[in-house]
Amino acid sequence: MLDLEMAEPSESPKAISPLRSGTTAGAPETPHDPFAGRRPALPGSAGEHLLQAAYGTEKRARRFYDDQVLDRLNDEMREFVARMEMAFVATSDKHGECDASLRAGPPGFIEVLDEQHLCYPEYRGNGVMASLGNISENPHVGILMVDFVTDLIGLHVNGKARIVEDGDLRQIYPALPSEFDRGRTPERWVVVQVEEAYIHCRKHIPRMVPVLRQRNWGTDDTKRKGGDYFGAKGQPRPWHEVTASSS
């Protein structure tokens, strides 16, 4: 059994580099990747390689890498993306603090630009821009798309993202859609360069039945957007002093 080291994430901006690329000056040394130096390099992180060795799953993992992981989107993956209506997007800032968010739209709202690139639109939202803020510090993103209705299968896409304004992207890709529902006009796009694409097996994916959805996307009405569903308003938090007038 290997000795496992638990390293605190670096607070240096260099921490946005993949774990397998080395350590940051002044940061704790990262665990040694037992498969480092293999050519060609295996997919995945140093951490997953270390745990594969520790728990004896190297053969299963290597079979998955060899059979299921691509460094691009093949034709079947591109067709899958083109019919998705939602995606879960994971990002983190330069310190490794994480955020997961839902993106949704009509089938094909995620555009496949070519086998190495896809993009999804960013609409007007609550103004927080948590995902975009993370991407501005750390380009690494993970996207999960799931077919809950017919094939019960998922697709992971990991890669590097950049933020592109709508007008700028249309100059490069004029075939982007131009007709949108009110309130669903992209302000900008997230363009992702694909580094890993692989299956999410159907074993635990629940089957769901779609229902008719009609939403007024142009509204700022708090109740119609969900209101204070979780009762957070008026609750104490470290950065906000609640007063009688604000509650």
Please give the span between the terminal C-alpha atoms of the chain, in angstroms, as a whole number.
55
44: left (phi over 0), alpha (psi -120 to 50) or beta: left
Residues 6+ apart with CB under 8 A from 212: none
Identify whether 98 is part of a domain: yes
> Are 125 and 31 within one domain?
no
- Return the pLDDT at 29: 65
The predicted-structure confidence for 155-164, as pLDDT tens digits, reads as follows 999 999 999 9
Of 22, 42, 68, the residue that ends a domain is 68
Residue range(s) defining the domain that contains residue 17: 13-68
Query: Do strands 140-147 and 98-104 pair parallel, antiparallel, or not at all (unpaired)?
Result: unpaired
Identify whether 235 is part of a domain: no
How far is 52 from 80, CA to CA, in rounded Å?
30
Average pLDDT score over the chain: 84
Tokens of 70: 């691509």
> Are 60 and 110 within one domain?
no
The predicted-structure confidence for 117-156, as pLDDT tens digits, reads as follows 999 999 988 899 999 999 999 999 999 999 999 999 999 9
Tokens of 57: 């799953």
> Are 116 and 196 within one domain?
yes
Identify whether 205 is part of a domain: no
User: Above 70 in pLDDT, residue 15?
Assistant: no
- Return the pLDDT at 184: 81
The predicted-structure confidence for 204-228, as pLDDT tens digits, reads as follows 999 999 888 777 666 677 777 777 8
The predicted-structure confidence for 162-179, as pLDDT tens digits, reads as follows 999 999 999 999 999 888
Tokens of 96: 């490794």
Q: Are the C-beta atoms of 147 and 209 separated by less than 8 Å? A: no
Q: pTM for the complete prediction?
A: 0.79
Share of the chain above pLDDT 70, in %: 81
Identify whether 155 is part of a domain: yes
- Return the pLDDT at 183: 67
In the chain, what's the furthest Cα-to-Cα distance? 64
How far is 185 from 183, CA to CA, in rounded Å?
6
Share of the chain above pLDDT 90, in %: 61
> Are 62 and 92 within one domain?
no
Q: Which residue has the higher pLDDT, 103 or 20?
A: 103
Identify whether 158 is part of a domain: yes
Identify whether 186 is part of a domain: yes
Identify whether 245 is part of a domain: no
Helix (H) or strand (E) holding 62: helix 58-68
Q: Are the C-beta atoms of 33 and 50 separated by less than 8 Å? A: yes
How far is 73 from 113, CA to CA, in rounded Å?
10
> Are 89 and 27 within one domain?
no
Of 48, 68, 88, the residue that ends a domain is 68
> Are 81 and 23 within one domain?
no
> Are 59 and 85 within one domain?
no
What's the domain count of the chain? 2
> Are 61 and 99 within one domain?
no
> Are 81 and 193 within one domain?
yes
